[in-house]
Amino acid sequence: MRAERPSLVDPWPLRIIAGLLIFAFVALFLALPLWTLFAQAFAKGTEAYLRAIDEPAAWSAIKLTLTVAAIAVPLNVVFGLAASWAIAKFQFRGKQLLTTLIDLPFSISPVISGLVFVLLFGLQGWLGPWLRAHDIQVIFALPGIVLATVLVTFPFVARELIPVMEAQGTQEEEAARLLGASGWQTFRRVTLPNVKWGLLYGVLLCNARAMGEFGAVSVVSGHVRGRTNTMPLHVEILYNEYNLTAAFAVASLLALLALATLAAKAALEWRGRTEIAS
């Protein structure tokens, strides 16, 4: 009697059920909310949509959000590169601790991430009185919002790079050093080109979160309309003012920024794959 070979293909009922489940899930939790968002934003027509966005407070929120991302993301790129390089390519005491610390912002609530800065820089906090004496405003102003955003988006670049760098090992760097390259040359000519796709991917994720962060920023913002409201905070304010169309219009802009980020990510992955294949 011939033994039956175990099938590598799942039986068709299972495949159909799994397919339906995935479809239902995507439709219910991704497509439907997105559709609602845009439907509500355009509920009163394109003109109302444009009017809701072309308004000083909305513009200032858009500008602030982009400014914060433009400062926070490069900072985290520098930090993420340095940290992942150190962790993946070198052995040193405290490496495990550093790896754990990088993950910390993922595991603490964003509200706490905001509150620590109030406790540090608030007028009743450690550094507050000194800052006030020197007329430096940290919380309830741009620096505080940037700090909170940097803290929350801290792990994205490093987390993305560490596995890539570890997978590549240290052989190429060792070869470069043997051929006489300096440390900086090794990093710039060997390490960086090897991880560029991973780096760009990390930057995109970091950027998406930096623009979308609500909790931590809400704590340090002070909610001054037209000055310290980021886009997510502005959406909440508009919603609370019964201004549904405007709230959804600004929210749809945020969603568009996120979708653009995703599209860029997909394009990068595709390019990265073709480059590796060639």
Partner 1 sequence: MRRPLLRLAAISLVLVGSAMAQAQAQTRLLNVSYDPTRELYTEINKAFTDKWKKDTGEQLLIEQSHGGSGKQARSVIDGLEADVVTLALAYDIDAIAKVGFVKEDWAKRLPFNAAPYTSTIVFLVKKGNPKGIKDWGDLIKPGLEVITPNPKTSGGARWNYLAAWAWAKDSNGGDEAKARDFVGQLFKHVPVLDTGARGATVTFTERGVGDVLLAWENEAFLALKEFGADKFEIVVPSKSILAEPPVAIVDSVVDKKKTRKQAEAYLAFLYTAQGQEIAAKNFYRPRDAAVAEKYASTFPKIELVTVDGAFGGWAKAQAAHFADGGVFDQIYKPGSR
> What CA–CA distance (Å, rounded) separates 127 from 118?
10
Q: Do 72 and 146 contact (CB within 8 A), yes or no?
A: yes
Shortest separation between residue 73's beta carbon and partner 1, angstroms: 7
Shortest separation between residue 128's beta carbon and partner 1, angstroms: 6
**Does 222 contact partner 1 by CB under 8 A?**
yes
**Does 237 contact partner 1 by CB under 8 A?**
yes
**Does 192 contact partner 1 by CB under 8 A?**
yes
**Does 150 contact partner 1 by CB under 8 A?**
no
**Does 120 contact partner 1 by CB under 8 A?**
no
**Does 278 contact partner 1 by CB under 8 A?**
no
Tokens representing residue 33 in the block:
């909310």
**Does 19 contact partner 1 by CB under 8 A?**
no
**Does 137 contact partner 1 by CB under 8 A?**
yes
Shortest separation between residue 17's beta carbon and partner 1, angstroms: 34
Which residue in 22, 82, 111, 225 binds partner 1 (CB under 8 A)? 225
Which residue in 123, 256, 263, 266 binds partner 1 (CB under 8 A)? 123
> What CA–CA distance (Å, rounded) separates 158 from 105?
12
Residue type, 175: A
> What CA–CA distance (Å, rounded) separates 68 from 148?
10
* Phi–psi pair at 44, nearest 5 degrees: -105, 25
**Does 271 contact partner 1 by CB under 8 A?**
no
When the beta carbons of 15 and 63 are compared against partner 1, the nearer one is: 63
Q: Do 118 and 219 contact (CB within 8 A), yes or no?
A: yes
DSSP of 112-164, one letter per residue? HHHHHHHHHHSTTSSSHHHHHHTT---TTSHHHHHHHHHHHHTHHHHHHHHHH
3-state secondary structure of 67: helix
Sign of CA dihedral 170, 173, 175, 178: negative
**Does 273 contact partner 1 by CB under 8 A?**
no
Span from 21-29, 91-99, 133-141, 152-160 in contact with partner 1 (CB under 8 A): 133-141
**Does 121 contact partner 1 by CB under 8 A?**
yes
Which residue in 51, 177, 196, 265 binds partner 1 (CB under 8 A)? 196
Which residue in 51, 89, 177, 227 binds partner 1 (CB under 8 A)? 227
> What CA–CA distance (Å, rounded) separates 102 from 161?
12
Which residue in 29, 32, 185, 223 binds partner 1 (CB under 8 A)? 223
> What CA–CA distance (Å, rounded) separates 43 from 41?
6
**Does 240 contact partner 1 by CB under 8 A?**
yes
> What CA–CA distance (Å, rounded) separates 257 from 269?
18
Contacting positions for partner 1 (CB under 8 A): 63-64, 66-67, 70-71, 73-74, 77, 118, 121-125, 128, 132, 135, 137, 139-140, 142, 192-193, 196, 222-227, 237, 239-242, 244
